[in-house]
Amino acid sequence: MTCSGKTEIYLRWVAEILNLGLTAIILVPEISLTPQMLKRFTDRFGEKVAVLHSKLSDGERFDQWERIRRGILPVVVGARSAVFAPLPKLGTIILDEEGEPSFKQGESPRYHAREVALARCEIEGAQLVMGSATPTVDSFENCLRNKYELVEINSRVSNRQPPRVKVVDMRNELVTKKNRSIFSEALCSSVRATLSNKKQVILFLNRRGFSSFVFCRECGEAVSCSQCKVSLVFHDKSRVMRCHYCGQLQNVPTLCPKCGSKSIKFFGAGTQRVEAEARRYFPDARIQRLDSDCVTTKGSLEDILDRFGNREIDILIGTQMVAKGLDFPDVTLVGILAADSLLRVPDFRASERNFSLLAQVSGRAGRGDCPGDVILQTYSPDHHSITYALTEDYAGFFKKECEFRKAAVFPPFIELAYFIISGSDPIKTEQSARDLRANITDFLKTNEQELGSKYEIFGPAPASIERINNRYRFQLMLKMSDLNLLTKTVGDSVRKTKRTGDIRLAVDINPFFVI
């Protein structure tokens, strides 16, 4: 349940921990994206709070680390790596928004802050508190298995009503109403009504840039990155196309690179285009975009949020930066422009992430005395991640999602190892991937009696993104019913797989992303 007051619960719990002479760690997805929560902790506990984040210099980090180790700063607030803060007499670790992907480190050493926190609390006799309006399927399943204790908050603060949600099927918007705009008629009228009532609007689209891709209408070729097998995204302000994986920049071609046609067209929408369209539709409104492209300087995020909180901005347009942790009482309308965008990702957790994001961003509306409204635009109105998000029915979503996970044999009903083998030579890279599969198969056959565990091997096959930074990528997946046996198999197979030249092998156990 969004707007449930869980931050106040965290504050009171930490106060109790401090009264016992113990210390506390509060983990948040990203310090830079949670300034409001950080302020609440510093307001409550003042100079007792240490803040750990990636922008600290080595000297600042050392000084903070020393003061934490000596117990001078008994409350630590930080992102993923703060789970290692050397607090003495640890009493609790709080993991806020436990389902956030940023808690999983994607590069070596790969770890999940949740798993480290669990182990550390067990070793040090501390209490782990995980909070979320939309828990991961894995964590909720652990509650049902009595591995975790479940505490539910079933009402909003002051019994505020959840926002009213209207779903707009964008297929009908085009076919019936001939409306080709990124804004439906219902959203436009709701924005105008909200502005006339002197209230504020959040428009959400989880894609940066102006257009999703640049496309030739004659041959169908999308302009792609020369180093990565992905489409380039057009950014209007800089007037260039950018790869969101390697950062490569290209000018927009006047002719198609493949067929030479002049029929170059911009397709799809990003937050820059939403901003441009909003200024055209609502010319008198004060409009601000909030995404990683416009908060590149120190203090720019806080400045935008302060201006929004002070009513100097009428419409805030953003990516997932506006989805969670923001509490503005005058926001009475949230517009979700493409509620099914995350469902296009070939990843078994895509529905879970979509449900979480929709429920969270909807929860930004109606946090004050006035009721809130949500306009949800989609081409997939019947998808379960959307239908259950409309009413924040997590239990319904969990049940339906588990049906799919069980049928497809994915976590939390199996243990999964995901391998990525990459290199500059596609033939040698694929051969290394085949060698890895052979080593896995040999180990499983040799230790068949000891393992006694069901398993499946998939691949090697080209990864969903076949090339990044001129490195070809192949993937394998290994499913087993026992985690200890899985890690034993992985360890032996990786050691025996020879890697020549620049070939790299990465393995992720129960990954958050499979791309």
Query: Mean per-residue pLDDT for 202-214?
Result: 70
pLDDT tens-place string over residues 307-340: 998 999 999 998 877 776 677 889 999 999 988 8
Report d(CA 136, CA 212) in Å as an integer. Answer: 29
pLDDT tens-place string over residues 151-182: 988 765 556 777 889 999 988 887 777 877 88
Q: What pLDDT score does 325 carry?
A: 65
**Cα 28–chain centre separation:** 13
Between the alpha carbon of residue 19 and those of residues 26, 176, 191, 246, 392, the distances in Å are 17, 63, 48, 49, 36
Q: What pLDDT score does 254 carry?
A: 82
Instruction: Answer yes or no: is pLDDT of 147 > 90.
Output: yes
φ, ψ at 122 (rounded to 5°): -65, -40
Instruction: Answer yes or no: is pLDDT of 138 > 70.
Output: yes
In the beta sheet, which residues pair with residue 224? Answer: 231
Q: What is the pTM of this model?
A: 0.82
Q: With beta carbons less than 8 A apart as the criterion, state whether 132 and 97 touch.
A: yes
Q: With beta carbons less than 8 A apart as the criterion, state whether 200 and 312 touch.
A: no
Which of 270-304 are b and which e, b meaning 16 or more Cβ less than 10 Å from the residue's Cβ?
bbbbbbbbbeebbeebebbbbbbbbbeeeeebeeb
Query: Mean per-residue pLDDT for 347-367?
Result: 87
Query: Mean per-residue pLDDT for 44-59?
Result: 86
Please, what are the domains in the chain?
6-132 (3.40.50.300), 159-209+269-404 (3.40.50.300), 211-267 (no CATH), 415-509 (3.30.70.600)
**Number of DSSP helices (H) and strands (E) in the chain, helices first:** 15, 20
Helix (H/G/I), strand (E/B), else coil: 200: strand
pLDDT tens-place string over residues 432-471: 999 999 999 999 988 877 766 678 999 899 988 888 889 9
Sign of the Cα torsion 72, 73, 75, 80 reads negative
Helix (H/G/I), strand (E/B), else coil: 94: strand
| 240/467: higher pLDDT | 467
Query: Mean per-residue pLDDT for 70-83?
Result: 93
